[in-house]
Amino acid sequence: MAWPNVAPFIPPDQILADFSVCESSDLEQAVLCGERMFCKNRLEKKGADFKARFFHRSAGEAGVARMSFGGEVAINPGKLDDIVLVQSVLTGHEHVISDQLRLTCNPGHGTVFNYHQHTFFNHFPGTDKLLVRIDRTLLETMLQRQLGRSIKQDIYFQPHLPTDGGCRI
């Protein structure tokens, strides 16, 4: 039996709306909020419009967040080191460089950012995105359990993750 490809519509600005952790026009405060949720990073405003809005729900070694900045912002976390990020842009777009790979992230496609690659985000006005954070230790532990052995190299995910294909049973 096939299930119809129908999901309840939730407006992007309502996703995680009850879990606001930061709303600020102060760049330093936004950096600190981002670091508490994800990792160390550098933020650079590229214009006058700036209002960071972060929503976050943590489950220990994993979490889900929604974020927007109002205006154009450069986000430079460098290497993610201890986390893998899975991102889906809800509205707007971003340009991302992950090692030598250049990506345009927009609605309809997700992106996986690997912990061992340098990553740089250019977040444009009107962009709102959903992020899933998975700690590296959780990921490696789960994979080793599934394989029944230890892993000897970094885990690598293909960055492109189409999200518009639906689900089939």
Asked if residue 8 is part of any domain, the answer here is no
Asked if residue 2 is part of any domain, the answer here is no
Alpha-carbon span 146 to 64, nearest angstrom: 24
Segment 40-59, tens digit of pLDDT: 889 999 988 999 999 999 99
Asked if residue 9 is part of any domain, the answer here is no
Helix (H, G, I), strand (E, B) or coil at 151: coil
Sign of the dihedral defined by the CA atoms of residues 21, 27, 29, 30, in that order: positive
CB atoms near residue 9 (< 10 Å): 6
Asked if residue 6 is part of any domain, the answer here is no
Of the chain, the percentage scoring pLDDT greater than 90 comes to 62
Asked if residue 1 is part of any domain, the answer here is no
Asked if residue 155 is part of any domain, the answer here is yes
Segment 125-168, tens digit of pLDDT: 999 999 999 999 999 999 999 999 999 888 888 888 776 654 44
User: Could you list the residue range(s) of the whole structural domain that residue 124 is in?
Assistant: 14-162
**DSSP letter assigned to residue 2:** P
pLDDT for residue 4: 55
| One-character DSSP codes across 22-73 | EEES-HHHHHHHHHHHT---EEEE-SS---EEEEEEE-SSEEEEEEE-SS-E
Q: What is the CATH number of the domain that holds 67?
A: 2.60.120.10
Inform me whether the pLDDT recorded for 13 exceeds 60. yes
Asked if residue 92 is part of any domain, the answer here is yes
Please count the structural domains in the chain: 1
